[in-house]
Chains A and B, each alone.
Chain A
Amino acid sequence: SAVISQKPSRDICQRGTSLTIQCQVDSQVTMMFWYRQQPGQSLTLIATANQGSEATYESGFVIDKFPISRPNLTFSTLTVSNMSPEDSSIYLCSVSRAVNTEAFFGQGTRLTVV
Chain B
Amino acid sequence: GQNIDQPTEMTATEGAIVQINCTYQTSGFNGLFWYQQHAGEAPTFLSYNVLDGLEEKGRFSSFLSRSKGYSYLLLKELQMKDSASYLCAIEGPDSWGKLQFGAGTQVVVTP
Contacts and interface: CB of A to CB of B under 8 A. Distances in A.
Nearest to A45: B98
Interface residue tally on B, bucketed by range: 20 to 34
Contact of A33 (B87, B97, B102): B97
Interface string A58-73: 0000000000000000
Interface string A26-55: 000001010000000111110010000000
B45 A99 contact: no
Given A100-B30, A105-B43, A94 B103 contact: no
Contacts of A100: 30-31, 48, 50, 91, 96
A95 B43 contact: no
Given A42-B87, A43-B43, A103 B99 contact: yes
A107 B42 contact: yes
The B contact surface, by secondary structure, is loop
B45 A104 contact: yes
A43 B101 contact: yes
Interface in A71-114: 92, 94-108, 110
A8 B51 CA distance: 39
B33 interface: yes
Contact of A42 (B31, B95, B98, B102): B102
B101 A42 contact: yes
B102 A102 contact: no
A42 B96 contact: no
A37 to B, nearest CB: 9
A97 B96 CA distance: 8
16 contacts: A33-B99, A42-B87, A42-B101, A42-B102, A43-B43, A43-B87, A43-B101, A44-B101, A48-B98, A94-B99, A97-B97, A99-B31, A100-B91, A101-B96, A103-B33, A105-B44
